[in-house]
Amino acid sequence: MGNRSQEEIPRTLRLHGDYWSVTDTEEVCLSGFQCTACGAGYLPAITTCSKCRCTRFRPLELSSEGCLYTYTVVRGSGGVWPDVYTIGYVDYPEEGVRVCGHIGETDAGRLRIGMKMKVERAVLYRDRDGNDVECFRFQPSESGR
């Protein structure tokens, strides 16, 4: 009864871990990819640039803030997902990248197209084995309503 085996102890799993990291100061950084021929940016990774058809890419760190392009509030999804959550696209104009991801705010009245968004680390859901599944998500930035 006392000790649970190592396999039974819930752990934290990372979703899309190749695309984000956490700094020593707990800031979340998104990592995309830039075409070496034309400079087009992507996240997630692709095999062929949609603008010039090049197949070579270099790492591209995204800015700390982007702008909300669009979003939707999802209700009653079921499964492992929360009953209400928001998903949307955030543009990173400097890098020319549009990123799809979860948004921490679920009140549509507090979201505005074009508002500044920051990226943060969050537990998105708990899987059937009791493991927290974390990923990056977007949150309205304090610097830019």
pTM comes to 0.85
Burial class (CB in 10 A: 0-12, 13-18, 19+), 137: buried
**16-34 residue pLDDT tens:** 888 999 999 989 999 999 9
**67-105 residue pLDDT tens:** 999 999 999 887 888 899 999 999 999 999 999 999 999
Beta strands in the chain (DSSP E): 12-14, 20-22, 28-35, 41-42, 57-61, 65-75, 84-92, 97-103, 116-126, 132-140
So what's the pLDDT on residue 56? 98
Which residues contact residue 104 at a Cβ distance below 8 angstroms, ignoring those fewer than 6 apart? 86, 120, 122, 137, 138, 139
